[in-house]
Structure 1
Amino acid sequence: MSGYQLALQQLTDSALPTGAFAHSLGFEAYIERGLVHDEESFGVWLAAFVGQQLTYSDALAIRFLYDGVPVGELDSLLTAQLLPRQVREASVKMGNRLLEIGAEIFPSPGLAEYRELVASGRGAGHQPLAFAVITRSLSVPLTEALAAYLFATVTSLTQNAVRAIPLGQNAGQRLLRKAADDVDAAAERASQLTPDDFGSVSPGLEISQMRHERQRARMFMS
């Protein structure tokens, strides 16, 4: 087993206390409108989210950091292009927790630099960038880092959907198996995109995420 494999498993484990269990990243608004209500309809939403928003924001940010774009520059770009307030705040809340956890268990000069940017107010501390800084310091190859991050996000969202819709545990596992192909496709697409593609996401997803801010009853923070 490669030296980074166990560390990567720890970083993507659902038990990592970043607060992912508290976020739907917009699918709860679809539940409220009756558009997501079962295994099939959630699978449609999940495929759209992975193929669009997750690919063109988080995955692309990870790739650009591996390409050598300064983390402070990418942090500013992510803050600007994550238009829905709750999704932006979710990225920052989970990112700051990951920075804190990483500083204790996977310290590195790159991680210390990013934490200093955040502490000084020159950065927000976004989740995909915190993840990428840690995985790059552990010498995780880009392709593996991308796939791991994307699938960890899919896993947390599916677990949240199992509780919220609700779905059975077997349905959750079927969804994860189907989503594996979407994750592979998203990682491949992110490796080919350009800076002009950064933030090119579906307006429908963003509008639904904005509606969630004023939803009367909800289980999730986003």
Structure 2
Amino acid sequence: MKDKIEPFALLHLLQLASPALPVGAYSYSEGIEALVEASNLDDRNALETWMVQELQWGAIRVEAAIMVRAYRAHQAGEWQTVSDWNHWLSAARETEELRLQSLQMGRSLVRLLHDLHLLEEPYAFLQQEGCHFAIAFALAAAHWQIDLQPAMLGYLHSWAMNLVNAGVKLIPLGQTAGQQLLLHLQPVIQHAAEAILTLPDEDLTSCSWGLSLASMKHETQYSRLFRS
């Protein structure tokens, strides 16, 4: 493992993990909107507890682990393995909302990579069969030669920023409270990244029933700001 990230790789990672990346992440709350509507999540502490549990045991842990596997398969030139993990992730999504979110964000990132002339020919099939965001993120990180550990941190931090921004709008939280929450989550994100990097295939499991129930309720929520 390198002691520091190369300057260009760092700049590429900042671009890839930026909220300005045009993949539509800002339009998703991943069930938070339904939890706020039901008064189950009404302050910063409740949102922090929810996000800590997700990082330690939830679906984001599995998504990030698949990102690691797709990254390594790209490095080894194993195109079929990338496709297999993409299909695996489709099967692992418990609700239609969560699956559509992952595929829409992945499709948008694949299209962006193609427009930037970064998508290699072996991955053209992803434009036909659908590509999950974790897979597309891995392809971009590997292409830009971003080391796996910082790529993992960027992936998890991007997820955290999106949910904090959703919480700022929905609970609502102040901008300062949102930044405080992100600071509190930094050691949790670092610990989660370290654990995910060594997670064996047989432990690709999550305790995400709370997220699944919130997502299913959100599908039929009468008034909402977010797509999921």
Question: If the length of structure 2 is used for normalisation, what is the TM-score?
Answer: 0.89
The residue aligned with 1:23 is: 28
After TM superposition, the structure 1 = structure 2 runs for residues 70-149 of structure 1, keeping only pairs within 5 Å, are: 70-105=81-116, 107-109=118-120, 112-114=121-123, 116-121=124-129, 124-149=130-155
In 2, are the aligned partners of 1:52 and 1:201 still within 8 Å (CA)?
Answer: yes
Q: Aligned AA for 1:60?
A: A
Q: Report deviation, 1:158.
A: 0.7
For 1:4 and 1:13, locate their aligned partners in 2 and report how far apart those are by CA, in whole Å.
Answer: 14
The residue aligned with 2:174 is: 168
Q: Aligned AA for 2:122?
A: E
In 1, are the aligned partners of 2:105 and 2:132 still within 8 Å (CA)?
Answer: yes
> What are structure 2's unaligned runs of at least 5 residues?
1-5
Aligned: 1:151 with 2:166? no
- Give the count of matched residue pairs: 217
CA RMSD of aligned residues (A): 1.6
Q: What are the superposed Cα offsets for residues 83-119 of structure 1, whole Å, 9 maximum, x if unpaired?
A: 111011001111111111122236142xx433x2233
- Pairing partner for 2:55 from 32, 39, 50: 50
Q: Aligned AA for 2:32?
A: F
Aligned: 1:182 with 2:182? no
Q: Aligned AA for 1:208?
A: A
- Pairing partner for 1:10 from 10, 15, 30: 15
- Pairing partner for 2:213 from 185, 195, 207: 207
SS where residue 125 of structure 2 aligns? helix
In 2, are the aligned partners of 1:55 and 1:190 still within 8 Å (CA)?
Answer: no
Q: Aligned AA for 1:63?
A: V
In 2, are the aligned partners of 1:13 and 1:152 still within 8 Å (CA)?
Answer: yes
In 1, are the aligned partners of 2:95 and 2:212 still within 8 Å (CA)?
Answer: yes
Question: If the length of structure 1 is used for normalisation, what is the TM-score?
Answer: 0.92
Relative distance call for 1:193 and 1:14 in structure 2 (3 A) is: same
In 2, are the aligned partners of 1:143 and 1:187 still within 8 Å (CA)?
Answer: yes
For 2:56 and 2:202, locate their aligned partners in 1 and report how far apart those are by CA, in whole Å.
Answer: 17
Q: Aligned AA for 1:15?
A: A
Q: Report deviation, 1:3.
A: 2.3
The residue aligned with 1:191 is: 197
For 2:71 and 2:53, locate their aligned partners in 1 and report how far apart those are by CA, in whole Å.
Answer: 25
In 2, are the aligned partners of 1:81 and 1:199 still within 8 Å (CA)?
Answer: no
Q: Report sequence identity in percent.
A: 29
In 2, are the aligned partners of 1:66 and 1:136 still within 8 Å (CA)?
Answer: yes
For 1:32 and 1:6, locate their aligned partners in 2 and report how far apart those are by CA, in whole Å.
Answer: 38
After TM superposition, the structure 1 = structure 2 runs for residues 27-46 of structure 1, keeping only pairs within 5 Å, are: 27-46=32-51
Structure 1 stretches of at least 4 aligned residues deviating more than 3 Å after TM superposition: none
